[in-house]
Amino acid sequence: MLRFLDAGESHGRCYVGIIDGIPAGVEIEMENINRLLKERQRVYGRGGRMEIENDEAIILSGLRGRMTTGGPIGLMIENRDYENWKDFMSPIDGIKGKGGVTVPRPGHADLPGILKFGFNDARNILERASARQTVIRTAIGGIAMEFLRQFDIEVKSHVCSIGGIVSKPNGKDKSFWINVENSLLRCGDKEAEEKMRAEIDKAKAMGDTVGGIVEIIVERVPAGIGSHTTWDKRLDTRLAAACMSVQSVKGVEIGMGFKTAERYGSEVHDEIFYSENGFYRKTNNAGGIEGGISNGEDIIVRCALKPIPTLLKPLNSVDIRSKMSAKAHVERSDVCAVPAASVVLKAVVAWEIAVAFLDKFCGDNIDEVKNAYEHYIKRLNFG
């Protein structure tokens, strides 16, 4: 069973993660992991925090000579900004200076967290709830991507829209993906990218924030990953839950998604054909998953992200101590998290695909997994 646990706070000393269940013998290229972290960090719409940080994953255990040992993989990402916050974020020393937050932000975990845990300071909530946590999720997902590369499974993502500006995706065109990788907005449509940039600038000038939609595509996943047998083994269940766990995500759809509610069945379901190469479809409205099981087509997931709840022109709120009306707390924040989220969600989806993959093709070392996989592919090809 592949699983992970992470710990850390936004302005704490570091984030740490423990991954359990990666087979022995998987080569991990840390350059790929750290490149993914840089993709998350160096995008348009970010705030001043990203000028301070230099996100880099440090492996603590579970690798030797770049190869996994089969033991738990420990990794850490330091928060350089901790030096500026240590007086009131130290886990051991007494709290010094001003760091308390008594006016919760609408749309954030501040107030529900205060009520749940009985605090009179939202700092204890917002530090863990912060989207800064996605830095370790990205690194953990990067490990999963290294595993999936052993089986030629590739995970891609791009920004579909920001605010009301919608791109025209062309995922079959290689130049589209080159544009995505070269874009600070991770958008493959250059014309839409300029309009998106202007929309972010407009929101910033107004002291506001803006959301959008991200698409994740997983290529070359074989049919048979996931299961219809129980609700928690369904691949779409896992993907939707994992994506919804990412801060600011408010909706997830797979394939045609919500548009299927507006169509007749004959317009939605992908007809099945057969050739000497096996079963195939001419359309992929299902997004590569039917009945909770991958069907061999590309897996397509889209996530809608709300605007970040920290506004430079704060909304009305209430001071939790005085119970008097007040403007919400202002914390240093991004204007638009959508481009960064496209990287995070790519990593999150990769993790869930790896979990489901290892559920089917389990083994203590990578050769055992490959043998099980190759045997299964032969059965699919020859019946």
pLDDT tier for residue 173 given thresholds of 50, 70 and 90: confident
- pLDDT value of residue 136: 98
Check whether 178 is labelled as a binding-site residue: no
Check whether 38 is labelled as a binding-site residue: no
Structure tokens at 235: 């691949």
Check whether 332 is labelled as a binding-site residue: yes
- pLDDT value of residue 62: 98
Residue 334 confidence (pLDDT) above 90: no
Check whether 128 is labelled as a binding-site residue: yes
- Can you tell me the mean pLDDT for 344-357? 99
- pLDDT value of residue 83: 83
Looking at per-residue confidence, does 278 or 224 come out higher?
A: 224
pLDDT tier for residue 247 given thresholds of 50, 70 and 90: very high
Residue 89 confidence (pLDDT) above 90: no
Check whether 130 is labelled as a binding-site residue: yes
d(CA 75, CA 17): 5
Check whether 294 is labelled as a binding-site residue: no
- pLDDT value of residue 383: 59
Check whether 291 is labelled as a binding-site residue: yes
Residue 49 confidence (pLDDT) above 90: no
- pLDDT value of residue 53: 77
Distant-in-sequence contacts of 272-281, Cβ < 8 A, 24+ apart: 278/380, 278/381, 279/223
d(CA 238, CA 118): 32
- pLDDT value of residue 99: 62
Please state, for a pLDDT cut of 70, what percent of the chain lies above it: 97
Check whether 40 is labelled as a binding-site residue: yes
- pLDDT value of residue 174: 86
Check whether 309 is labelled as a binding-site residue: yes
Whether the model clears a pTM of 0.75, i.e. scores above it, the answer is: yes
Residue 95 confidence (pLDDT) above 80: no
Average pLDDT, the chain: 94
Q: Taking the chain, what is the end-to-end CA distance rounded to the nearest angstrom? A: 28
d(CA 132, CA 11): 9
- pLDDT value of residue 317: 97
Check whether 209 is labelled as a binding-site residue: no
- pLDDT value of residue 169: 80
pLDDT tier for residue 347 given thresholds of 50, 70 and 90: very high
- Can you tell me the mean pLDDT for 41-61? 83
Looking at per-residue confidence, does 42 or 248 come out higher?
A: 248
- Domain ranges for the chain: 3-382
Check whether 308 is labelled as a binding-site residue: yes
Check whether 116 is labelled as a binding-site residue: no
- pLDDT value of residue 211: 98
Mean pLDDT lowest for which of 99-108, 129-138, 152-161? 99-108
Structure tokens at 318: 């209430």
pLDDT tier for residue 44 given thresholds of 50, 70 and 90: confident
Residue 17 confidence (pLDDT) above 90: yes
The one-letter amino acid code at 263 reads R
Mean pLDDT lowest for which of 47-56, 234-243, 260-269? 47-56
Residue 65 confidence (pLDDT) above 70: yes
pLDDT tier for residue 92 given thresholds of 50, 70 and 90: confident
pLDDT tier for residue 25 given thresholds of 50, 70 and 90: very high
User: pLDDT tens for residues 269-328?
Assistant: 999 999 988 899 999 999 999 999 999 999 999 999 999 999 999 999 999 999 999 999
Does CATH number 3.60.150.10 belong to domain 3-382?
A: yes
